[in-house]
Structure 1
Amino acid sequence: MWNRSSSFARPASPLLRYWQAEAVRLREAHWGPLEDRAACQAALRQPADLQARILARAAWLAEHDNLHERLIQWAAGARWALIAVWLAACLAGIGTAAAVLGQGQVNLALALLGLLGLHVLTFLIWLAGWLPGVSGSTALSSLWLWFTRRLVRGPDGALAAQAFLSMLGRARAWKTAIGLISHGAWTAAFLGAVPTLLLLLSTRRYTFHWETTLLSSDAFIRVTRLLGHVPGLLGFPAPDDAQIAASLGAQPAAAGIQAGWSLWLIGCIVVWGLLPRLLGLIACALHVRRRLARLAVDPNLPGWLDLRDRLMPTHASLGIDRPAPAQGGGAGPAMPPAAIGGQTAVLAYELGPGLDWPPAGLPAGVVDLGRCDSREDRARIRAWLGTPPAHLLFVCDARLTPDRGAVAWLDELRRSCLDLRALCLEGSPARLQAWQDILSQQAVPQVASLSGWLEHIGSLRHD
């Protein structure tokens, strides 16, 4: 379907970028959130547009998780599978044309039925697929997907296919893409059948006739006129009534009449077979191209809805406002390590944009250890934990995925503080679950709110 050297060797095309974003969204929906701090930082360097930043985040994750390469491999496999399906259809058309002509005696009714019958039936089925509530899937599209799965194996093969079909469905281009596959196969079949008919009719002698037990000669005359009217407009001759009547007898008609029937048969195959499929192929290709050109990110979809606050923060850093005070120490509150010994304290761990800290109304008896965002902050807090607080609340941003650094830091705090509890702020259900799993593994209880934790501390003191 795509030429790898022309589409994917250059910077990612819009189609590939949306495909990557959909694949990342589905992967996180199925297997949990990915570690995306660096991806979000790269996305925040893009213009302040949610769609552009979602695409940039997905591109970074796809590139660093080998998903980009897997999508390219799947696209190449899908292209070869489509070529194989169309080639098989062309060979089937050649075989059908040879079988219809047989050894010399050609029944025109059976010839038309063999060459056009299944085509007309599948064309009507495709048209019916546009009705509301009717599935547009066809045997050829299912065969293409099955063959693609055989060509592209691996852990991300199914994900690539699901993301591609989901993207087509949201663009309302899936049924048209099915038509593209089907019309392409039938066009290839007729492109194989018509030259075969021309070759055999040019090199062998055939006799054409109508055979019937129930129908009258008038029925064949009407059918011949009806089917030959449009081909006649394109220059294909149609037999007259006398020639049709002569072909109903047991005796072979004259050679000129046989030549006329040959051209009439070819005209019917071209007009009622090849041209509708070729026009359908062109229409579907143009429609798919137009629909895919209008692809857009729907930020309300699960997975993308959770990214809004992280990729479109309500405030941004404006750079250095004034020189820092000439004093040592880190970014946290200045206090001697002994000041927190036996106290109640709170610690904010890598809070993202939009989460202000410390919160308003923090009681005077609670020590704020500030934010822990860097290696220097950890060194500062380790010095304080030499005389650890009696109660410590670990506040984390559940919009971010917990990584190994968070696990190691939690384990270090748990070993230093006897009463360590955690509070997860905001976050999607999937990332909240990831934090809950980490906290459960570290045996760190979770609290629902800061006020609830303060009430818990107060109750312990009263006891």
Structure 2
Amino acid sequence: MRSRPLSTADLAASPLLQYWQAEAVRLREAHWGPLEDRAACQAALRLPADLQGRILARAAWLAEHGELHDRLIQWSVGARWALAILWLCACLAGIGTAAAVLGPGQVNLALALLGMLGLHALTFLIWLAGWLPGLPDSTALSRLWLWLTQRLVRGPDAALAAQAFLSLLGRARSWKMAIGLISHGAWTAAFLGAVPTLLLLLSARRYTFHWETTLLSPDAFVSVTQALGWLPGLLGFPAPDDAQVAASLGVQPLAAGVQADWSLWLVGSVIAWGLLPRLLALAVCILCLRRRLAGLAVDPGLPGWLDLRERLMPTHVSLGIDRPAPAEGRAADPAVPPPTAHGGRSAVLAYELGPDLAWPPDGLPPGVADLGRCNSRADRARIRGLLNPPPAHLLLVCDARLTPDRAAAAWLDELRRSCPDLRVLCLGGSPQRVQAWQDLLSQQAVAQAVSLDSWLEHIGTPPP
């Protein structure tokens, strides 16, 4: 089945994925050299004359045909699972913290507030300070998320997917927002686990609340209670009065109504000073992250994309042949019979055969075209023209003495997508090399031909 040509609608379907693919292709070419992209550039040149759109179209074609698209999707799924696991662990930690601060029955309000809000307040201030220039752009939670994603997603191009994603966030100036999403999401999950636990335990067990101090005066706790109870009071949570605060410093048990007020004051403080700030910060990070990612654009001046300008936005156009070339010394192209309806012809093609391997054999049947040998990029360009429209049956003859490389895999994949019935015939080679070719054919879901005669029988043409 032939691959569907890229269009502007395809690029608009998932802008983030398109830019991510482009960045991954750019980094891969920067690390390992240029890819075979003649067909990708031809597909991109069919789009309107827009450099950014053509760069994205070229990258989308290369990502799809080189399986990089599937690797990015796998990394994206793994990253989401890592984030879900991280948030689930934070929720369980919130449940455990709520159960620990209440204890067996005697609750020290100062220690309970410190246990529920102390680390939260410290990390929240650190996140706010992270916007100051010169401070690091990563946190322990973000590094843990990347480490967990790396453990969940293994295989080829996993590191490239992560590097491209981080590079994309850096260019969009949204990495701090992504860190905030991870951190605030984890703390929100922790408080969403802690608040119901507090309510459940306070509803099912009897607790006594009190303040304990050796150095501070009762007035200090009155001020703390009033300050922390201001925001919960706006949400409808009651706050103990001064007399109740002073009574909580004594050793005498308080009335049940006073204990209920202290429990609601504690829950209200956790919601007002813990859950709500994290929810607000999480919403701000999500909105800013979406806005900045929506403003992504291709920077043609980056290494890897700068060299594509002339190829994707050519300044000259070929006007065709000025006059016929002299007849002397012209190499005859392989004869291709005119195609029948819907590309009904059959053809054979030799791929990087050694000069000692005789090909093609004498006396091919009349209905089978010889496309010649494919040994260079120029040969590939010539063969692409001969395969339009594609033949119904194509036999690719390979030299099994050579180990299949990435270029062979890419060319095989391109032919598989173009021709309805592709088979491969391996000539020569040791059992190990033949097995390597068979593994490649199995990965590409391409059938292997035992011999030329068996292929001719397969297509219904009697051998000569």
Distance 1:161 1:197 in 2: 39
- What is the CA deviation profile of residues 290-349 of structure 1, one whole-angstrom value per residue up to 9, with x for unaligned ones? 1111110000000001100110001224679xxx87xxxxx6x42744xxxxxxxxxxxx
Counterpart in the other structure of 1:249 = 250
> What is the distance in 1 between the residues matched to 2:13 and 2:60?
9
Structure 1 residue 160: Cα displacement = 0.4
- Counterpart contact for 2:11–2:56, Cα < 8 Å: no
Separation of aligned partners in 2, 1:405 and 1:319? 23
In structure 1, what is the equivalent of residue 376 of structure 2?
405
Measure the CA separation in 1 of the matches of 2:106 and 2:231: 26
**1:4-403 → structure 2 map (5 Å cutoff):** 12-317=13-318, 333-334=325-326, 336-337=328-329
SS at match of 1:310: helix
* In structure 2, distance between residues paired with 1:162 and 1:336: 55
- Give the TM-score normalised by the residue count of structure 1: 0.69
SS in 2 for 1:34: coil
- Partner Cα separation in structure 1 for residue 164 and residue 125 of structure 2: 29
> Compared with structure 1, are the counterparts of its residues 97 and 120 closer, same or farther at alpha carbon in structure 2 (3 Å cutoff)?
same
Aligned to 2:427: none
Aligned with 2:198: secondary structure?
helix
Shift of 1:136: 2.5
Secondary structure of the 2:376 match is helix
**Aligned residues of 2:82 and 2:152 also touching (Cα < 8 A):** yes
Q: Give the Cα–Cα distance (whole angstroms) in 2 for the partners of residues 277 and 112 of structure 1.
A: 17
- Rg: which structure is higher? 1
The 1:126/1:264 distance shift into structure 2, 3 A limit, reads same
Q: Percent identity?
A: 77
Indicate if the aligned counterparts of 1:126 and 1:136 stay in contact, CA closer than 8 A.
no
Query: What is the identity, as a one-letter code, of the residue corresponding to 2:16?
Result: L
Q: Closer, same or farther in 2 for the Cα pair 1:404/1:281, shift >3 Å?
A: farther
Alignment of 1:430-441 (within 5 A): none
- Where does structure 2 lack aligned partners over 5 or more consecutive residues? 1-9, 336-373, 381-464
> Are the structure 2 counterparts of residues 251 and 10 from structure 1 closer, same or farther at C-alpha, using a change threshold of 3 Å?
farther
Report the CA distance between 1:140 and its aligned residue: 1.0
- C-alpha contact (below 8 Å) 1:116/1:273 kept by paired residues: yes
Q: What does the per-residue CA deviation read over 1:94-152, in whole Å, with 9 as the maximum and x for residues that have no partner?
A: 00000000100000000000000010011011111111111121111111111111110
| Kept in 2: contact 1:22–1:167 (CA 8 A) | yes
Measure the CA separation in 1 of the matches of 2:223 and 2:286.
36
CA distance in 2, matches of 1:230, 1:319: 78
Moved over 3 A (4+): 9-12, 317-320, 406-409
Task: Give the aligned residue type for 1:405.
Answer: S
Distance 2:377 2:334 in 1: 12
Partner Cα separation in structure 2 for residue 278 and residue 296 of structure 1:
30
Specify the code of the residue in structure 1 equivalent to 2:309. Answer: R
**TM-score normalised by structure 2 residue count:** 0.69
Deviations 1:228-251 (Å, cap 9, x if unpaired)?
011111111110000000000112
Instruction: In structure 2, give the amino acid aligned to 1:257.
Output: V
For residue 163 of structure 1, report the CA deviation from its aligned partner: 0.5
- Specify whether residues 225 and 157 from structure 1 end up closer, same or farther in structure 2 by C-alpha distance, changes over 3 A only: same
CA distance in 1, matches of 2:272, 2:204: 23
Aligned partner of 2:357 in structure 1 is: none
Separation in 2 of the partners of 1:55 and 1:299? 11
Task: Tell me the distance in 2 between the aligned counterparts of 1:54 and 1:299.
Answer: 9
Q: Distance in 2 between matches of 1:404 and 1:266?
A: 75
Higher mean C-alpha displacement, 195-204 vs 307-316? 307-316
C-alpha separation between the residues in 1 aligned to 2:377 and 2:238? 82
Structure 1 pair 244/279, CA: closer, same or farther in 2 (3 Å)? Answer: same
- Name the SS for the 1:303 alignment partner: coil
Q: CA deviation at 1:60?
A: 0.4
Question: Which residue number in structure 1 is paired with residue 385 of structure 2?
Answer: none
How many positions carry a matched residue from both structures? 333
> Residue 10 of structure 1: CA displacement?
11
Q: Distance in 2 between matches of 1:186 and 1:128?
A: 17
User: What CA deviation, in whole Å up to 9, does each residue of 1:260-305 have, x standing for no partner?
Assistant: 1000000100000000000011110011111111110000000001
Matches of 1:282 and 1:312, distance apart in 2: 41
Aligned residue number for residue 391 of structure 2: none
**Is the contact between residue 98 and residue 197 of structure 1 (CA under 8 Å) also seen in structure 2?**
yes
